[in-house]
Amino acid sequence: MRYTLFFALPIAAALALAAGNTSAQDKGTKPDMDAMMKKWMEFATPAEPHKMLEEMAGSWNTESKMWMGGPGTEPSVTMGKSTMTMILGGRFLQQDVTGEMAGTPMHGIGITGYDNFKKKYVGFWIDDMGTAIYTMEGEMEPDGKTCTYWGTMDEPATGEKGKKVKYTMTMVDKDKHIFRIYDVSAFGEKEPTMEMVYTRAK
């Protein structure tokens, strides 16, 4: 009951706002609530792009490389694990990652989805190495294997805010994919400053 109520509330609120806007534009026309609800449900239903996310579900071993001094320097290498699960009726992929960063145990959680209305992949990341929430939006490249995301991040160590960041997720095959982070502001978008290779656990 609680889930149904919470799911219904945003839909009802959106329809109420849409109805208000329609009435304001044409007070003589009654909005077609059934048509509006149908359109809302079309955007709320998992589509083909969500199937790509579903293929990433499972247990993974990870190898992470971080170029703390920037591209061209010797990277630090750490191993970890990741569990990915489709949630909320196949709408989002939830990732739970454990590993190390700079010799310190790290636990992170990510959510990735596909926004049917924006026609973009969207996501966010949080971990116990900070208090920020990192968000991103992206699109699939023409090759159908790499999704390129863009976002911003703050750098407390230097005081920088809103740095431009590029992320890529490349599906090598069903048992391997590679996530990369590019510090565009500092090093451009050709060489990554962080790379995580996922290999499906057997």
Q: In CATH, what number is assigned to the domain containing residue 168?
A: 2.40.128.20
If asked whether residues 65 and 91 sit together in one domain, one would say yes
28 & 63 share domain: no
- As given in the structure block, the two tokens for residue 167 are 């992320």
Which tens digit of pLDDT belongs to each residue from 141-181?
Answer: 999 999 999 999 998 888 989 999 999 999 999 999 999 99
Q: Are residues 97 and 155 in the same domain?
A: yes
User: Domain tally for the chain?
Assistant: 2
In the prediction, which pLDDT does 18 show?
57
Q: What are phi and psi of 131, to 5 degrees?
A: -120, 10
- Together in a domain, 33 and 62: no
Same domain, 150 and 177: yes
User: Hey, which residues does 148 pair with through a beta bridge?
Assistant: 139, 168
What pTM was estimated for this model as a whole?
0.81
My answer on whether 98 and 55 are in the same domain is yes
Q: 70: pLDDT confidence band, cut at 50, 70 and 90?
A: confident
Q: Helical H runs in 26-143?
A: 33-44, 48-54
| 171 and 153 within one domain | yes
Say if residue 135 is in the same domain as residue 168: yes
Residue 57 pLDDT > 50: yes
By C-alpha distance, which of 35, 1, 36 is closest to 17?
Answer: 36
Quick one: which of 128, 164, 132 has its CA closest to 148?
Answer: 164
Answer yes or no: are the C-beta atoms of 106 and 127 closer than 8 Å: yes
Q: Measured in Å, how far apart are the chain's first and last C-alpha atoms?
A: 39
Q: Does 130 lie in the same domain as 186?
A: yes
- Same domain for 189 and 128, yes or no, is yes
Query: Containing domain of residue 188, as a range?
Result: 50-200
